[in-house]
Chains A and B, each alone.
Chain A
């Protein structure tokens, strides 16, 4: 037993140091492509850290969104940036931000070191045992409609946060669209390997997303994880060169985009009218309401994330002018 604890401890120590080391290297290395690749590796190690900290839901979310989708977003952005730079004939090297604190050049690391030491002290000053809200969660689980505690917090106890968070996603997509197209669309024909990969993998991804959504009620998983896996299927299709084109501006597509946040907000309003309380799910129907909310949320999250990856605005302007 003793050796096992020692093994676990040294594993934690190694993981911790690798995280910090990777973060340092990725932020300070010369090559941006390398930085992004290291960031994805960093995200995967973070997912490992979440597992070590008994947070499997967060690990799933991190692996799918934090490392996967963010990585894909960063890589395509870098590729587009390279195209822009080639067209404009500009090159960039690792450069200090001359505008920020030029005079404080040596002071900045020092000040940050002091901040870090102070924060570290504060972390250590926390009481060694604190139940947080775990007892409140445990007592109220029976009335939450689900048996998995993270889902209960996300969709029921603090469902209002999740309602607003869906709108954050939607606003970022509207923002991305309102800035307009970033590059000229260039169609790529996928090679046979990517083609096969996509054909085989997309159905599997859809299946995995459905599983994650369903399992969220009683085990790690849920709308955000399922939505991002489904979004990954969309990203693969987009990488294949599939372009939704006109679909993006059609009403059915827009309805899917807003279904998650919209249904959440309408549910909140209806429950207020019926029960006099925002988002107060009747205990006997809580499970089914949460499942309905999660299903629409999964679809919306998936489509929003994939659309963020595409980042091309729909051609709605042509349609209305």
Chain B
């Protein structure tokens, strides 16, 4: 039995199952919901299987077609990929259960196939070691995400989706140009081989500039975040949850992976890291202030995503001296943000469904009338603010520790300010959930599956705070951050 599990092709399941599941959903729209839920469930189980596999055997490498790099495409899984896959699986489960209740018949048949293709693209993205293959997965992910963002129709959603489409296409094209330069400079598109062959040269600089610019646009790092709030703010709530929790993280993951393996050691990295750090700091402050100014709940959450992405980039300047610690902290934050932000959007969706609007000042005693959604929002907010014992707290604490150890007080101050601002915008919402609106509103029932999926994701985001040691040890399988370590 154990041998079967260890040898089982979990990676193949992770990529092919959602794609084939999507096809089944498309063919037989009558069973789309059931097929979708089953597919997501078994995909999540496969992440568990893969985790077991690489925990026992170490990193997993698979040559597709048996050719092997550089001619063929290699799949690769280590602790970093595993963490992203796990975040995807958790969010996918929560959002799928939610969507089963959220989407009405007509929308449901459109939602499930596209969502499963998006899930397949995400898994494929986290599992490939080939930068051109990454481009294809990026496009698959981007087009599926845009299709989902515009699903509901209406002026705002369509405008948001269009803006998103232009940004994501531009980002992919710029990334592709970087890939083209790398291929012609070093004769391969395999990340490991590129890392061996690449040397500091104009090609590396240009490729880095292009790839970083393209991925920063896709990750919505300040000041390239302009497309995110309209897209994430106007999509259907479960879609917003997917976009904010997973899709922007995917392009960050690529940037981080390529930085660690290829560019970090070559590009004289203090200046670039400082720039990333500055942009990250600006994103935290700008995003948080904008979030505080919003009157619509979903737009507020979207701006909060802009801010939370900033934290991930603070790890760049810290990592020059303490790679493993800074990156572990950033990935921990990414994981807990994925769970918390998904929970928050789903909770907001419940309030939206309940009251028919998402005006913050008009939440009208949600706390009594929709206690589970309010609890989900509060718990997710805890993690976003970084209050103990949530996952967000552990991530921020780890990062603060590194910053204090290095005496980077400016980073410490930005992080604390960001936390305070986050507390301000979350408590502002929570405050309004207690107050009574001037005129009572009509309200609509919210299915239990939608309430509980939001709450369970939020609880998971908090519980993540107790799992620091196992998560961090899993994350370091295959030593993904080892290369950037500067030996004194």
Instruction: List the interface of chain A (C-beta within 8 A of B).
Output: 118-119, 121-122, 125-126, 130-133, 136-137, 140, 156-161, 164-165, 167-168, 170-172, 174-175, 177-180, 251, 254-255, 257-258, 261-262, 265-266, 268-269, 272, 275-281, 316-317, 320-321
Contact = CB atoms under 8 A, between A and B. Distances in A.
B133 to A, nearest CB: 6
B187 A165 contact: no
Given A125-B201, A171-B140, A157 B206 contact: no
Interface centre among A167, A180, A265, A268 (most CB of B within 10 A): A167
A140 B63 CA distance: 15
Contacts of A175: 114, 143-144, 146-147, 150
A256 to B, nearest CB: 11
B144 A269 contact: no
A177 B12 CA distance: 29
Given A159-B65, A320-B109, A268 B202 contact: no
Contacts of A317: 105-106, 109
A179 B150 CA distance: 7
Given A122-B202, A261-B23, A316-B109, A277 B65 contact: yes
Contacts of B113: 174
B203 A125 contact: yes
Contact of B151 (A178, A257, A262, A280): A178
Contacts of A171: 114, 117, 140, 143-144, 147
Contacts of A170: 26, 117
B181 interface: yes
Contact of B23 (A168, A178, A258, A272): A258
Interface string B146-162: 11001101000010000
Contacts of B139: 168
B438 interface: no
Contact of B64 (A122, A160, A265): A160
Contact of B187 (A132, A156, A261, A320): A132
Interface of B: 9, 12, 16, 19-20, 23, 26-27, 29-30, 62-67, 70-73, 75, 105-106, 109-110, 113-114, 117, 120-121, 124, 132-133, 136-137, 139-140, 143-144, 146-147, 150-151, 153, 158, 177, 181, 183-185, 187-188, 201-203, 205-206
Nearest 6 A/B pairs, CB to CB: A175-B147, A280-B66, A178-B110, A136-B71, A122-B206, A279-B65
Contacts of A178: 110, 114, 147, 150-151
Nearest to A271: B65
A160 B137 contact: no
Contacts, number: 154
B188 A133 contact: yes
A317 B109 CA distance: 8
A7 B20 CA distance: 53
Interface centre among B110, B137, B183 (most CB of A within 10 A): B110
B203 to A, nearest CB: 6
A310 B55 CA distance: 50
Given A171-B140, A316-B109, A251 B12 contact: no
25 contacts: A125-B202, A136-B71, A158-B132, A161-B136, A164-B136, A167-B19, A167-B120, A167-B121, A171-B117, A171-B144, A172-B147, A174-B26, A174-B147, A175-B143, A175-B144, A175-B150, A178-B150, A178-B151, A179-B147, A179-B153, A180-B153, A255-B27, A316-B29, A317-B105, A320-B29
B64 A278 contact: yes
Contacts of B117: 167, 170-171, 174
B27 A254 contact: yes
B261 to A, nearest CB: 20
B16 A269 contact: yes
A131 B205 CA distance: 22
A128 to B, nearest CB: 12
Contacts of A281: 65
Contacts of B30: 320
Given A158-B133, A317-B105, 10 more contacts: A133-B188, A160-B64, A172-B147, A175-B143, A175-B150, A177-B110, A257-B26, A277-B64, A277-B66, A280-B64
A164 B188 CA distance: 20
Contact of B136 (A156, A165, A316): A165
Contacts of A122: 181, 202-203, 205-206
Contacts of B150: 175, 178-179
B71 A126 contact: no
A160 B133 contact: yes
Nearest to A127: B185
A268 B27 CA distance: 20
A254 B143 contact: no
A122 B206 CA distance: 7
A128 B70 CA distance: 21
Nearest to B9: A272
B72 A258 contact: no
A258 B73 CA distance: 24
A160 B73 CA distance: 7
A278 B110 contact: no
A150 to B, nearest CB: 14
B71 A140 contact: yes
A191 B62 CA distance: 58
Contact of A132 (B20, B151, B184): B184
A175 B26 CA distance: 12
Contact of B62 (A159, A165, A261, A278): A278
Contacts of B109: 316-317, 320
Nearest to B73: A160
B65 A160 contact: yes
B51 to A, nearest CB: 19
B106 A258 contact: no
Contacts of A118: 206
Nearest to A170: B117
Contacts of B106: 317, 320-321
A174 B109 CA distance: 10
Given A137-B71, A175-B143, A269 B12 contact: yes
B167 to A, nearest CB: 12
A175 B141 CA distance: 12
Nearest to B207: A122
A99 B205 CA distance: 31
Contacts of A161: 73, 132-133, 136
Contacts of A261: 19, 23
Contacts of B143: 168, 171-172, 175
Contacts of A168: 136, 139-140, 143
Interface centre among B62, B146, B202, B205 (most CB of A within 10 A): B202
B70 to A, nearest CB: 6
Contacts of A179: 147, 150, 153, 158
A44 B205 CA distance: 34
Given A268-B12, A277-B65, A174 B19 contact: no
Interface centre among B65, B105, B113, B140 (most CB of A within 10 A): B65
Given A122-B206, A140-B71, A320-B105, A167 B140 contact: yes
